[in-house]
Amino acid sequence: MRLGGAVLCAMLAAGPALAADKLKVGFVYVGPVADFGYSYQHDLSRKALAEALPDKVETTFLENVPEADSERSIEKLARSGAGLIFTTSFGFMEPTLKVARKFPKVKFEHATGYKRSDNVSTYSARFYEGRYVCGKIAGTLSKSGTVGYIASFPIPEVVSGINAFMLGAQAVNPNIKIKVVWVNTWFDPGKEAEAAKALLAQGADILTQHTDSAAPLQEAEKQGKLAFGQSSDQYRFAPKAQLTSITDDWNGYVIAEAKAVLDGTWKSHDTWGGIKDGMVVLAPFTNMPDAVKAMAEETKQAIADGKIHPFAGPVLKQDGSVAVKAGETAPDPMILGMNWYVKGIDDKLTQ
Amino acid sequence: MRLDLVPRTRRSPVLDILSPALAFVAAVLIGGVAVAALGVSPGDAFVTYFVTPLSEVWSLQEIALKAAPLALIATGLAFCYRANLWNIGAEGQFVIGGLAGGWVGVATHGMGGFTLWILPAMLIAGTLAGTAYAMIPAVLKVRLGVSEILTSLMLVYVAQLLLDYMVRGPLRDPAGYNFPQSVGFDPAARLPYLMEGETLHAGVVVAFLAVVLATVVLARTLFGFEVRVVGASPRAARFAGFSDARLTLAVFAISGGAAGLAGIVEVAGKIGQLQPEISPGYGFTAIIVAFLGRLSPPGILIAAIVIALTTIGGEGAQIDLKLPLDLTRAFQGLLLGLVLGADVFAGYHVRLVPGGPTGRPVS
């Protein structure tokens, strides 16, 4: 009986009333919104959207959604009447595509994936640009000559980040060493802090991370060392340790996509924005001498202007073979599929 | 004055049914207070959590899909727990089952000709792998007296990392931009859907049959009797000539096989490929389900449906009422605590006795 009622309601709702309704925009996060990192940053864009178009959109979100169990969560959002759904983790790719097939009128936006369809767009940020700047800072400031890198999963996005960081560091100090610890999680303050302790004990005096909690920064702060934040500005957690933070700014993109859906101009596409597009933002440079600050600003500007490309040749692989020839830059597909280290990194990738 | 617990000489069947139901009501009332404290009407929350998911065809299917692996794993675990053996590693056995069965799916990808054997082979491979993996803690316990609680738990992490390694290495999709996942399985390697265009797949039937089979085995066979006797009175069981070692191996084999089967059912049913994460913690949640269902297969089936219902209702509450996910988890924990607490009252009389606190020890 209820079923019949629901169908009737749906039929009535599909009438002219729908046009006046607000666009429902749903967000699916892999972590808690309180991670003060990736999911938190994405949630800021949800709030920015709600603020920018208060009369036209209504936002909602699901947090802590396990990747293996995400299809139902995404479908639930689509069934609750969402017209635009952001699925914000790589592992949501296949589930997003599956649900998108069932709901051809709903628009989907998948972050960091590579598969699209008529109603699924993908978007990501050129995080590696920010990492190159961080690498230069670390190469200049490290006294021990060793930098500790806390990494999540060996997917291309993370590997290209390690490489860009190393190339930046080598640009100012050819003998710099990077030690990598894989923690196999995006968010686990305990594990991340353990990794930070291990790296500091092995002589690293600067830490950087591709995980989402502020735990490594706090560990560096405790031991009087330096570190880079990740995903959001984590200065308040480590005012004496944070050099800068690679921040994702999705606000502009999220608002633009919602507007496109409202205008009826939305089309499936791929967006890969960098410093130039304002999608990768570096938090204020702190805890470093003015000369280093100036160098960092200059590098950032040069990347935005296209004068520096982090993967400008010659780039050598770990075994010494040439990956990018002198005078060329790595094409996007190479960066998007990167599963090799550049020369000088003291770690092995599983192949 | 003090409270004494006096064992009831005979358990009342009415009370046995009534106590979990009352516990559920109490949990709902306490949950309602929490919801009201968050500024949401408890009535709305109740409808969103428990009524809406049961009133739509789609969400009914999702409840069945979520409850199936939980019921299957928990039913296997019931054999272990009844015999006072503590297999905490069903999550690992689930992952190994999914990996082994999924491996068959990857290896036969693109194969032409006669393909009807592939799906059965996957299910068998998953079940056997789960059993074999559960044999490690069982054999260590029988041979060396190693605590099965620790070994089975630690082997969960080994299994997860093995799966992680396999999808990044040998089983990675060569055309997948180096991302950690296998190729998508062919249709012959997928569990069939029960209805065209819907999400419900044959794995639900598998789980239901397993529950029925387990009910019969526990209640009507000599082996089931053995499990119950060993659990209730190990000394009596030894006098009766039941072998501890043989029973340990048997119940671990059953629980491992059930978890492994659940793993490959999930992989061949819902997911359709291998990826670094194939379980949202089913193996651990199933431990809760097993105890909520008081280690009886029909009870487990009900408990699995209740847990699935609260999970799916919890998602609705997040979307429609903006209630936090933590509330759902807190409610599930509360429910388990209250059911176990109510169980004490079903098994014991509570008496108020005059006298100091250091009286007769509580039996």
Please give the model's pTM, rounded to 2 decimal places.
Answer: 0.78
Helices (H), A173-306: 189-201, 215-222, 251-263, 290-304
- Is B148:B158 a contact under the CB 8 Å cutoff? no
CB contact under 8 Å between A60 and B277, yes or no, is: no
| Partners of A87 in beta bridges | A28, A110
**What pLDDT does A4 receive?**
44
ipTM above 0.90, yes or no: no
| Summary mean pLDDT of chain A | 89
- Is B257:B130 a contact under the CB 8 Å cutoff? yes
Q: Is B301 a domain residue?
A: no
Count residue pairs from A and B with Cβ separation < 8 A: 82
Tell me the residues of B at the A interface, defined by beta carbons under 8 Å apart. 55-59, 62, 65-66, 161, 164-165, 168-169, 177-181, 184, 266, 270-273, 275-281, 312, 315-316, 318-320, 322, 325
B184, closest residue in chain A (CA to CA): A94
Integer Cα distance of B279 and B86 in angstroms: 21
pLDDT band at A18 (very low <50, low <70, confident <90, very high): very low
**What pLDDT does A58 receive?**
93
Integer Cα distance of A275 and A297 in angstroms: 12
Q: Is B320 a domain residue?
A: no
**What pLDDT does A132 receive?**
97
- Is B283:B93 a contact under the CB 8 Å cutoff? yes
| Partners of B350 in beta bridges | B5
| Measured CA distances, A332 to A33, A160, A279, A342, B39 (Å) | 31, 11, 17, 16, 49
Q: Is B110 a domain residue?
A: yes
Q: How far is CA B177 from the centre of its chain?
A: 35
| Partners of B352 in beta bridges | B3
Q: Tell me: the pLDDT tens digits for A253-286?
A: 999 999 999 999 999 999 999 999 999 999 999 9
Residue A13, pLDDT above cutoff 80: no
Chain A residue numbers touching B179 (CB-CB < 8 A): 90, 114, 155-156
**What pLDDT does B356 receive?**
62
Q: Is B363 a domain residue?
A: no
pLDDT band at A12 (very low <50, low <70, confident <90, very high): very low
> Looking at the domain that runs over A127-247+282-336, which CATH code has it been given?
3.40.50.2300
Q: Is B20 a domain residue?
A: no
For residue A268, how many other CB atoms are within 10 A of its CB?
A: 15
Residue A351, pLDDT above cutoff 90: no
The amino acid sitting at B283 is: G
Q: Domain ranges in chain A? A: 2-126+250-273, 127-247+282-336
Q: Residues A303-315: what's their mean pLDDT?
A: 93
pLDDT band at A11 (very low <50, low <70, confident <90, very high): very low
CB contact under 8 Å between B164 and A69, yes or no, is: no
Structural domain tally of chain B?
1
- The percent of residues above 70 in pLDDT, for chain A, comes to 94
Q: Is B45 a domain residue?
A: no
Chain A residue numbers touching B166 (CB-CB < 8 A): none
Q: Is B346 a domain residue?
A: no
CB contact under 8 Å between A72 and B312, yes or no, is: yes
Nearest CA-CA distance, residue A157 and chain B, Å: 10
**What pLDDT does B257 receive?**
97
The pair of structure tokens assigned to A270 is 């791929």
Stretch 317-336 of chain A: residues touching chain B, C-beta under 8 Å: 336
- Which is nearest to A266 in space by CA: A61, A59, A108, A47? A108
Nearest to A154 among B56, B168, B270 (CB): B168
**What pLDDT does A53 receive?**
93
Does residue A45 or residue B229 have the better pLDDT?
A45
Q: State which of A6-10, A31-35, B41-45, B237-241 shows the largest mean pLDDT.
A: B41-45
For residue B218, how many other CB atoms are within 10 A of its CB?
A: 20
The pair of structure tokens assigned to B162 is 């093995």
CB contact under 8 Å between A351 and B169, yes or no, is: yes
Q: Is B334 a domain residue?
A: no
- Which is nearest to A310 in space by CA: A162, A124, A132, A140? A132
**What pLDDT does A3 receive?**
44
CB contact under 8 Å between B312 and A76, yes or no, is: yes
**What pLDDT does A69 receive?**
84
A63, closest residue in chain B (CA to CA): B325
Q: Which one is the CATH code of A2-126+250-273: 3.90.550.10, 3.30.360.10, 3.40.50.2300, 3.30.342.10?
A: 3.40.50.2300
Domain of residue B150 covers 68-293
CB contact under 8 Å between B315 and A62, yes or no, is: yes
CB contact under 8 Å between B276 and A339, yes or no, is: no
**What pLDDT does B191 receive?**
92
Q: Are strands A177-182 and A206-209 parallel, antiparallel or unpaired?
A: unpaired
Residue ranges in chain B modelled with pLDDT below 70: 355-363
